Amino acid sequence: MKHILLAFAMCGALAWSSMTYAAEVEQTVDHMETVADNWEYCGAYKTTGYCPCRKCCGKSDGITASGARARAGHTVATGREFPFGTQLLINGVVYTVEDRGVRNGSIDIFYDDHQVAWNHGIQYFDVYVRR
């Protein structure tokens, strides 16, 4: 009797697990469609890191070309292909274009710490712009 109950419990758990998995897949697809609806693919961009130090910026006040104070996890520098205020989705993070200083086709991601910016190195990421 214990084996029958265990088998029934396992089948019920598998059915519940399958339903949960199906719901998660559906939610992921819905999310992907929302992303596709709100974001336009721009291409793979070369990214680097920078911080507010003199080595990275030539000054150390943290004020961007747009006049905003740079913030980690928020500020990026781009060429003029993206106007100030443009939101970019890079590697799962939404950044705002608030600075200049790089050529078109490159994006400089702001970090609070010089070592963290240096460790970013050169990486290529798919970039999406908010419509």
In terms of Cα–Cα distance, which of 99, 107, 111, 112 is closest to 124? 107
Name all contacts of 1-4 with Cβ < 8 Å and 24+ positions apart. none
Q: Is the pLDDT of residue 124 over 70?
A: yes
Confidence bin at 5 (pLDDT 50/70/90): very low
CATH class of 40-130: mainly beta
Question: Which pLDDT tens digit goes with each residue over 66-107?
Answer: 999 999 999 999 999 999 999 999 999 999 999 998 988 899
Sign of CA dihedral 89, 33, 21, 19: positive
Domain residue ranges in the chain: 40-130
